[in-house]
Amino acid sequence: MPEFNTMELMVIAASRILENGATVGVGTGAPLAASMLAHKMHAPDLVIMFEAGGIAPVLCKMPISVGDSRSYYRSVMASGMCDIMESCQRGMVDYTFLGGAQIDMYGNLNSTVIGDWEKPKARLPGSGGANDFASFCWRILVITPQDARRFVEKVSFITSPGYLDGPGAREKAGLPEESGPHKVITNMAILGYDEETKRMQVESIHHGFTFEDVQKNCGFPLLKAKNIVATPPPTEKELDVLRKEVDPDGYIIRKG
User: Does the annotation count 196 as an active-site position?
Assistant: no
Burial (0-12, 13-18, 19+ Cβ within 10 Å), 197: middle
User: What's the pLDDT at 254?
Assistant: 66
Per-residue pLDDT tens over the stretch 204-251: 999 999 999 999 999 999 999 999 999 999 999 999 999 999 999 888
Q: What are the extents of the domains in the chain?
A: 6-248
Please give the average per-residue pLDDT across 72-91, as a whole number: 92
Residues composing the chain: 256
**Distances in whole angstroms, Cα of residue 35 to Cα of each of 18, 82, 227:** 7, 22, 27
pLDDT at 251: 81
| Model pLDDT for residues 206-219, shown as the tens digit of each residue | 999 999 999 999 99
For residue 7, the Cα-to-chain-centroid distance in whole angstroms is: 13
Query: What pLDDT, on the 0 to 100 scale, is given for residue 66?
Result: 83
Query: Residue 256: what pLDDT?
Result: 44
> For residue 255, what pLDDT band results from cuts at 50, 70 and 90?
low
What does the pLDDT read at residue 150?
97
In this prediction the pTM is 0.95
With beta carbons less than 8 A apart as the criterion, state whether 14 and 34 touch: yes
* Dihedral sign from CA coordinates of 157, 161, 165, 169: positive
pLDDT, position 88: 94
Q: Give the max Cα distance, the chain.
A: 51
Q: Among the options 3, 8, 51, 203, which is catalytic?
A: 51
| Fold of the domain spanning 6-248 | Glutaconate Coenzyme A-transferase (3.40.1080)
Query: Residues with Cβ < 8 Å from 248, sequence gap 6 or more?
Result: none
User: How far is the C-alpha of 201 from the C-alpha of 198, rounded, in Å?
Assistant: 9
Burial class from Cβ neighbours inside 10 Å (0-12, 13-18, 19+) for residue 65 reads middle
Residue 161 has pLDDT above 60, yes or no: yes
